[in-house]
Structure 1
Amino acid sequence: MEADAGAAGPFALFAAWLAEAEASEPNDPNAMCLATTTPEGFPSARMVLLKGLDARGFVFFTNRESRKGDELGANPRAALLFHWKTLRRQVRVEGRVEEVTAEESDAYYATRPRLSRLGAWASRQSRPLSGRAELEEALREAEARFPGAEIPRPPHWGGYRVLPERLEFWRDMPFRLHDRQIFRADAGGGTGAGGGWRTESLYP
Structure 2
Amino acid sequence: MADSSPSPTVDTPATDRPARKPARRRQRSVRVSVAIVLLVVATIAVALALPTGSFAPMAGSAVLALVLGWASARIVYNELLQSRREHAADRAAQAAAYRSVFTERATEQAAFTSAMTERLTQGDREVRELSGTLVQVEKRAADAEQRLRKEAERADELAARVDELSGQLDDLDTAPDDVATLFDEDLDTVVDLMSWEDKVTAAAAQDIRKHA
Higher helix share goes to which structure? 2
- What TM-score range do you get, normalising by the shorter chain? under 0.3
- TM-score normalised over the length of structure 1: 0.19
Higher strand share goes to which structure? 1
Structure with max Cα Rg: 2
